[in-house]
Amino acid sequence: MLDAVEFIRGPTNTTWGALRAKMGHPAPFPLKTIGIGNENWGKEYYSRFYPLAAGVKAVHPDLKVIAAIDPHVIRDPPRGKESWAEIRKGEVDFADEHMYASPSYWLNHTDRYDSYPRDHVPVYIGEWGTRDIRPDWIDGLYVSLAEAAFRIGIEKNSDVVKMVAYAPLARRRGAPRDGFSLLDVTTDAVCGNPTYYAEKMFTHNRPDRVVPVFYPKVTTRQPAGWDREKGPFNPKAEAIDVVAFHAGAGLAGDELVVKLVNAASAACPVTLAFDAQLPAGKVSRETLSGEPGAKNTPEEPTRVVPRKDAFDFAGGKTLDVQLPPYSFVVLRLRR
């Protein structure tokens, strides 16, 4: 492991740094974090992790070390708790949680990190995505809306969750698979799926600081068959009540950024109430919406993409907006 780190970031007067330079890359790579293990768990793993982590820190004290958490962390919560109990026994910079679930799980568990302790190891969500969806809706819009709702919950808890990585990033169209990706790749094209565009909306509208948002619980009935049959969260793919409306907000420079999800089949009228008077001006709006099963293909790569527009705001302490059915909307207002 130390040889690998030296190859990546060691100076050229070291054995492995010299080899990297000989191979054509004399400049060190900016490695900042290293994960020891992947989807490992149990006392045996942690008994080996801590000596390895100490060895890395002894030579590279600036490297952040990531420990694995039991990959059943959401499917079997007691196993996740056992991993966290081991994590708290030693020095760890990040704990790597992996989670794959159904749309109904994401919509109903956006508060997952609300109760995480604020005074211990921060979370790195190293893998996450929607696996348990009806097969013909994989990579469809409804998936991206459920994930956007969960992402709002992650962003709200960014003091706990420091890093997030969707998985997988890309897949070759036509290859065997059991799920999903941000990008579909063919020999001559790359196609972004709706979740790719939802993630892009989060990236381009990242706040400097989140602010509290309060809203009523609004539920809708997710029809039978939308979750995948034999999945761990809704094994019979039954009709299930889901929280359909989700909201988050933050400050970015002189703007208020508001993120809204409507996972219901009807339009949703929303009144935003602010704790201070906002000035008159234009409100920029970005909307990802469509039919729940709609997806992009290499033949029709922009069927489901965000649409941008703007509208006038007279100023004040409230703003009325209408969310389309099955939509993810981002608003930016001057403050």
Write the DSSP string, 265-304. Answer: SS-EEEEEEEEEEEPPEEEEEEEEE--TT----SSSTTSS
Cβ neighbours of residue 229 closer than 8 Å, sequence gap 6 or more? 235, 236, 237
* Nearest residue to 148 (alpha-carbon basis) of 43, 241, 262: 262
Cβ neighbours of residue 249 closer than 8 Å, sequence gap 6 or more? 207, 210, 211, 213, 256, 257, 258, 259
Secondary structure E strands in 72-167: 94-101, 123-130, 161-164
In the sheet that holds 33-36, the strands lie side by side as: 33-36, 64-68, 94-101, 123-130, 161-164
Nearest-10 Cα torsion for 185, 188, 189, 190: 40
Cα 295 to its chain centre, rounded Å, is 19
Max alpha carbon distance in the chain (Å)?
A: 66
Please state, in angstroms and rounded to a whole number, the distance separating the CA atoms of residues 88 and 70.
14
* Nearest residue to 143 (alpha-carbon basis) of 99, 193, 187, 190: 193
Please state, in angstroms and rounded to a whole number, the distance separating the CA atoms of residues 301 and 192.
7
One pLDDT digit (tens) per residue for the chain, 335 residues: 999 999 999 999 999 999 999 999 999 999 999 999 999 999 999 999 999 999 999 999 999 999 999 999 999 999 999 999 999 888 899 999 999 999 999 999 999 999 999 988 999 999 999 989 998 898 999 999 999 999 999 999 999 999 999 998 998 887 766 568 999 988 888 999 999 999 999 999 999 999 999 999 999 999 999 998 888 899 999 999 999 999 999 999 999 999 999 999 999 999 999 999 999 999 999 999 999 999 998 889 999 999 999 999 999 999 999 999 999 999 999 99
Cα 233 to its chain centre, rounded Å, is 19
Half-sphere exposure of 94 (CA within 13 A, CB side): 23
Contact yes or no for 73/79 (Cβ under 8 A) = yes
Please state, in angstroms and rounded to a whole number, the distance separating the CA atoms of residues 152 and 148.
6
Delineate the domains of the chain, giving CATH numbers in brackets. Answer: 93-334 (2.60.40.1180)
Please state, in angstroms and rounded to a whole number, the distance separating the CA atoms of residues 68 and 54.
16
Helix (H, G, I), strand (E, B), or coil: what is residue 194? helix
Which positions are annotated as active-site residues? 39
